[in-house]
Every structure is written in C-alpha cells, then in structure tokens.
Amino acid sequence: MRKPVASGARSTPVAPSCSTPVAPGVPTLVSIQASAEKTPLAVLAIVDASGSPRRDVLTLPFTIGRGSAQDYVVPDTNRGVSREHLVIEEVNSAGAVTRNRAAGKNGTFAGNQALPERFVWRFGQEIVLGEKWTSAPVVRISLRHVEQAD
C-alpha cells in the first residue's frame, strides 16, 4: 500500500534497474566464483606455527607476512616474520621473482645464505623466514608447480 505524501512534497522518480550497485572493493558472487575457478600460478607448501597449510598463488603481486592485509597471513606466534615480509611479483618457468622486504632485518634464508632484496625463488626451493629471531619459531615455505602440490 502506498502512504499518502504530504501536500507540497515533491518526489523524484527513480528508473527501475535490473542490478544492484555494489560498493567498490566488495566481492560479488561472480568475482568470488571467478577466483574459485582460477588455476593457481604456483602453490606454497608452508610449515608455520599453525601447522602445514597450503596456499595457492592466484593473483600477483602476492604478499606474505604477519600483517592482516597480506595474501598469506603468517601466525603471530611466528613473530620473527615482518608484517610484509615477501612480495611475489612474477611467476615464470624459472620460479617466482620475489621482493624481500625483510632483507637485512628479520631474515630470509635459503639454506644458510641470506637472500637479497630481490631474488628468483626457484620451484622446489625452501626458504626460511624470521631465522634471525632465535626466540620465535621460523616459517619454512617451498614454492611448488601446481601439478607438484598434491
């Protein structure tokens, strides 16, 4: 039922629409389904304080760290890992071109070698985050091809 409008009040007609506007940055069902169906570029095999999670690298850049805005959020127990520790910028046949935001700080190592600010993370290579913090557990991550992940 319509309610009566006060005398002298004006209304502006609104054209009907078949769609509902969505605020910018809010995922829609279509974008969620597209992400779910996307083939990963690479897979991260991880050992951290929470156990052994696996993360698919679906989009680039892909960020790793303790900050809540990261694509892979490291548990706070692994406090030797920076808020934004690594950024995977590109995945190619050799591996992942990676920016080490913690170079010279909390430490990113391959074997016993500290990794520079930019490096190629080879497929199958394990790196260790936060090794300079002796009072906190480290995070071990291996970069895998998608078919090697299962």
Other CB atoms within 10 Å distance of the CB of residue 13 = 5
- What is the per-residue pLDDT across 27-63, written as a single tens digit (0 to 9) for each? 544 444 445 568 999 999 999 999 999 999 999 999 9
Helices (H) and strands (E) in the chain, counts: 1, 11
Give the pLDDT band (50/70/90) at residue 107.
Answer: confident
d(C-alpha 75, C-alpha 85), whole Å: 13
- Is the CATH number of domain 41-148 1.20.140.10? no
Query: pTM for the whole thing?
Result: 0.73
